[in-house]
Structure 1
Amino acid sequence: MGPLEPDVPQLVVGLVCFFLIFGVLGKLLLPRIEKTLAERQDATEGGVERAEAARAEAQRVHEEFQSELAAARHEAAQIRQTATEEGAALLAQLRSEGQEVRDRMVSEAKVQLEADRVIAEAELREDVIRLAGDLAGRIVGEPVADGPRARAIADEFFAELDAKTGTRG
């Protein structure tokens, strides 16, 4: 018995064992290996496809976000513009009201000043007439004031003075 002359029963048992192991491996192990290889290939190819789909979805979401952001910026600009316009209108209204109040106060003050001037002028004229009468009475030695004639002379004097200066008539 040597390698060139095998023992037939041993060879048959060896071949039966070989085909039995080959059959078991082929029926049980080989499908599992093929399944694992198919899953790996699907995971690899499917992973690329899923990554590409996820990238496309992320791009779509990014573009949607950018459009919403642009719309929000546009809306914020409109709100700022509206607030600026409303503020300017309110400021103009307040200035107008302030101008009206100032004009009214100035006109009231002018009226009050004119009334005070008229009163002061009348008081001064009366004082001048009284002082002129007192002075004339001291010079003449008799009381000159309190007479209608003194009043008429003083009125004539003030009328001439007003005509020369162009004031009250």
Structure 2
Amino acid sequence: MDLIIPSSGLIFWQLLGFLALLFILIKFAWKPMLAALEERESGIENALKAAELARNEMANLKSENEKLLQEARLERDNILKKAQEASVKMIEEAKNEAAKVAAEQIENAKAVIETEKKAALAEVKNQVAILTIEVTEKLLRKNLADEKAQRALVDEFVKEVQLN
């Protein structure tokens, strides 16, 4: 039974050793351990706060980036719209300018054609007049070979002149 129930002296000395050990631990080891635990706890708490701040800052940056991206998209759309409008305007102006130039060229061509037509008609009239004069001259030489025919022609011209 000695093994199951210790003697009172043993209990006393064990209690005295435990209390001495407890006193020494409280005096020298407990405070540094508590300080280390508090320091670790505050470090973890600071790390959690820093992580929360970083998370909030990341959320703010993400929303700000989304806002900037949206603004950039709007600006891009505006620039593309303006570029397309400018392109359409330039094409329209080029078409109008080409139409004006074509109209001017057509008018110039019509004027040149009209001028050439008049010149050709004048040339034809001149040729007809020359041919008429030559034919008339040949006919008159043949018809007016005798003096009697010449007098008859002069009389006829005189009558026509008096009528006019």
Normalising by structure 2, we get a TM-score of 0.66
Residue number in structure 2 paired with 1:5? 8
For the pair 1:114 / 2:122, whether they are aligned, the reply is no
Cα distance in 1, alignment partners of residues 59 and 95 from structure 2:
53
Deviation at 1:115, TM superposition (A): 0.6
> Unaligned 5+ residue runs, structure 1?
150-169
* SS of equivalent to 1:3: coil
Deviations 1:50-81 (A, max 9, x none): 21331122112211220232023113212321
Match of 1:103 in 2: 107
Q: Deviations 1:65-106 (Å, cap 9, x if unpaired)? A: 202320231132123213321331232123212211220122
Deviation at 1:119, TM superposition (A): 0.1
CA displacement at 1:144 relative to structure 2: 5.7
CA distance in 2, matches of 1:123, 1:35: 126
The whole-number CA distance in structure 1 between the counterparts of 2:14 and 2:28 is: 21
Structure 2: which 5+ residue stretches go unaligned? Answer: 145-149, 151-164
CA RMSD of aligned residues (A): 3.1
- 1:43: Cα distance to partner? 2.4
Matched, 1:55 2:73: no
Q: What is the Cα deviation at residue 107 of structure 1?
A: 0.8
> Which of the numbers 41, 44, 55 marks the counterpart of 1:40?
44
Partner of 2:8: helix, strand, or coil?
Answer: coil
Task: Normalising by structure 1, report the TM-score.
Answer: 0.64
The code of the aligned residue for 1:5 comes to S
Taking structure 1 as reference, are residues 128 and 25 closer, same or farther at Cα in structure 2, changes over 3 Å only?
A: farther
Change (3 A) 1:107 1:13: same
- Count of aligned positions: 141
Matches within 5 A, 1:13-162: 13-127=17-131, 130=134, 143=142
| In structure 1, distance between residues paired with 2:90 and 2:51 | 57
- For residue 161 of structure 1, what is the aligned residue in structure 2? none
Highest CA radius of gyration, 1 or 2? 2
**Higher RCO (CA < 8 A, seq sep 6+):** 1
After TM superposition, give the deviation of residue 129 of structure 1 in Å: 5.3
